Amino acid sequence: MKTLPDILTEKFSAAFEKAGYAADYGKCVVSNRPDLCEFQCNGSMAAAKAYKKAPIAIANEVVAALGDDGTLGKVEAVSPGFINIILSEKTLNSYLNEMAMSEKNGYEPKNVGKTAVIDYGGANVAKPLHVGHLRPAIIGESVKRILSFDGYKTIGDAHLGDWGTPIGLIFTEMQVRNPSLVYFDENYKGEYPEECPVTLKELEEIYPFASAKSKEDEEYRAKARQAVFELQNGRRGYRALWEKIMDISKQDLKKNYGSLNVSFELWYGESDADPYIMPMIEDMKKQGIARISEGALVVDVKEDSDNKEMPPCMLLKSDGAVGYDSTDLATIVQRMKDFSPNKIIYVVDKRQGLHFEQVFRTVRKAGIVGDDTELIFLGNGTMNGKDGKPFKTRDGGVLRLEALVKDVRDHVAEKMADRELSDEEKADISKKVGLAALKYGDLSNAATKDYIFDIDKFTSFEGNTGPYILYTMVRIKSILEKYSGVAGTDVKTIIEQASNGELKLSDIEGNDSEKKLKLQIAMFADSIMQASSELAPHKVCAYLFELSNFFNSFYHENKIVTEENEDRRKGFIALICLTLRLLEQGIDLLGIEAPEKM
């Protein structure tokens, strides 16, 4: 389906042409003065310059050329040369009826046949997920859902940090504590035990302990580095131990990401890029773009137009080790080979911006990525506490994601305590509403901005919050329940009828709140298109918030179930079913679920 501005643009382009002007002046947009009109065409202003004529004269000619085919409503040329458009209710209704019957609520995917890889995990193995991983996870998941709605084949990659210093530290500490473990015996030739020699709980204690120790003990630090080096070079016992730790760690990460309603198609780690590193480096050497600098191997990426520091990209450190730069470079080699994506999107803390700039320039320079592939760094801002600093626990520690999710859930549960609902219902509501509060609180802010985590605000049922959107949905469902009682048809059937054309909007003119709700519904495709092209889940939030507001005013200003005129009553039901469908679609794009009751 075309969008309303597109339909209008077609009509106006034809009118401009008919009046003797170039068709591309006919672009129509949603009005920025909703008090005056719903849509506007400002092309006469630009045409005036090109044709050296008064804009109002052109606008008048275009309105005349447009004629009145009865579909538009009120079209008016106003000085100095704008054309204001108010759509007829009938046109709007038939547009909405068509939306209700179409598969994606009238949205036409723009990117069918294209592929996007989205990198939004970045959790580090053997370290629990903490709040720093929250934003990439929920923004990335939403971006993935939006792109997939827009036709992309999407591949989400967890890109776990599974290969670096932390694992070396863990090995070193394990060996101190338990030197006789077979994994550390270089002469051991047998099979390794099935069971992982440490539990997750132990790992969580070992890592911070080893990390603190390494800061004071140079020898210990060197041992850890050596362990990483040997692991990467295939030492058998280390590989076996590493695999065991990876197994239990991944299981836990899957559970944790799952509790956020976040999933990945690929559970690759940095280690999966390893086989690509050396051939890639050889190739860069051959091309003559790699050079030795103070013992390290680097690629220069500075450009004349840079006005900030742009250090070279590091292929090999002076001790021959590979690091974060080469891992990300080689991961791109791998992704290009496996998926030839049109886009690779990184949702990572914005403080890593320089790293990605270096990496992107290097892969372009080396010809690893051509013009058909866009590389996008969607750097996210931080979630801050009320003091404006990155969110911490009360004692200043790093807050685990699990604890945060539980806090929000408990907060919602408290609010639900005196509701007349079963314990099961209450648990389901707290889980879904809590997660919605957390995710919406995050997603409603532009990804690049920092925001303040405010549990009271996020869990409020009023205002621009997740619970408010869910509450609106539950309200619509309860109206449908009531109507179902009156009509003697079950809710499921009513919803079906609203999407197969049996229930249609009524052409009887309604009040202002009804028209506003309809217009907002009609803007669905535009909002999604913007959210997709700008990778901006906050645009979906803004759309849903306004839709909920318009719905709630409509609800307060109209009797729905008790409306006496049958045609009108049915029209209202069709309208609220469509509203519900868009809200459902919208929250799904955000990775949020709604409870049945609230």
Q: Is 328 in the site for ligand ARG (CB under 6 A)?
A: yes
CB of 157 to ligand ARG, least distance (A): 8
Rounded CA-CA distance 365/231 in Å is 31
Residue of minimal CB distance from ligand ARG?
122
Q: Is 474 in the site for ligand ARG (CB under 6 A)?
A: no
CB of 536 to ligand ARG, least distance (A): 20
Q: By CB neighbour count within 10 A (0-12 exposed, 13-18 middle, 19+ buried), where does 296 fall?
A: middle
Nearer to ligand ARG, 120 or 440 (CB): 120
Q: How many residues bind ligand ARG (CB under 6 A)?
A: 8
CB of 338 to ligand ARG, least distance (A): 15
Nearer to ligand ARG, 325 or 514 (CB): 325
Nearer to ligand ARG, 143 or 573 (CB): 143
Nearer to ligand ARG, 225 or 350 (CB): 350
How does 150-166 read in b/e, with b if 16+ C-beta sit within 10 Å? bbbbbbbbbbbbbbbbb
Q: By CB neighbour count within 10 A (0-12 exposed, 13-18 middle, 19+ buried), where does 107 fall?
A: buried
CB of 161 to ligand ARG, least distance (A): 3
Rounded CA-CA distance 65/88 in Å is 19
Specify whether the backbone of 323 is left (phi greater than 0), alpha (psi in -120 to 50) or beta: beta
Nearer to ligand ARG, 253 or 519 (CB): 253
Compose the 104-133 pattern: x for residues touching ligand ARG by CB under 6 A, - for all others.
Answer: ---------------x--x-x---------
Compose the 403-442 pattern: x for residues touching ligand ARG by CB under 6 A, - for all others.
Answer: ----------------------------------------
Q: Residue 2, Cα to own-chain centre: how many angstroms?
A: 24
Q: Is 322 in the site for ligand ARG (CB under 6 A)?
A: no
CB of 141 to ligand ARG, least distance (A): 15
Cα–Cα separations (whole angstroms), residue 92 to 83, 95, 516: 19, 5, 11
Nearer to ligand ARG, 346 or 360 (CB): 346
CB of 349 to ligand ARG, least distance (A): 7
Nearer to ligand ARG, 84 or 362 (CB): 362
Rounded CA-CA distance 1/3 in Å is 7
Q: Which of 159, 343, 400, 518 binds ligand ARG (CB under 6 A)?
A: 159
In degrees and rounded to multiples of 5, residue 123 shows phi and psi of -65, 150
E strand or H helix at 324: helix 324-339
Subset of 42-61 contacting ligand ARG (CB under 6 A): none
Nearer to ligand ARG, 58 or 143 (CB): 143
In degrees and rounded to multiples of 5, residue 348 shows phi and psi of -140, 155
Cα–Cα separations (whole angstroms), residue 365 to 119, 148, 279, 362: 22, 30, 16, 5
Rounded CA-CA distance 268/273 in Å is 9
* Torsion sign over Cα 68, 71, 74, 80: negative
Subset of 331-360 contacting ligand ARG (CB under 6 A): 346, 348
Specify whether the CB–CB gap between 84 and 36 falls below 8 A: yes
Specify whether the CB–CB gap between 162 and 125 falls below 8 A: yes
Task: Note the helical H segments in 89-217.
Answer: 89-101, 134-149, 165-177, 200-216
Subset of 519-578 contacting ligand ARG (CB under 6 A): none
CB of 250 to ligand ARG, least distance (A): 14
Q: Which of 55, 140, 161, 168 binds ligand ARG (CB under 6 A)?
A: 161
Which residues lie below 8 Å from residue 351, measured CB to CB, with a gap of 6+? 379
CB of 335 to ligand ARG, least distance (A): 10
Nearer to ligand ARG, 122 or 510 (CB): 122
Nearer to ligand ARG, 73 or 323 (CB): 323
Residues in contact with ligand ARG by CB under 6 A are 119, 122, 124, 159, 161, 328, 346, 348
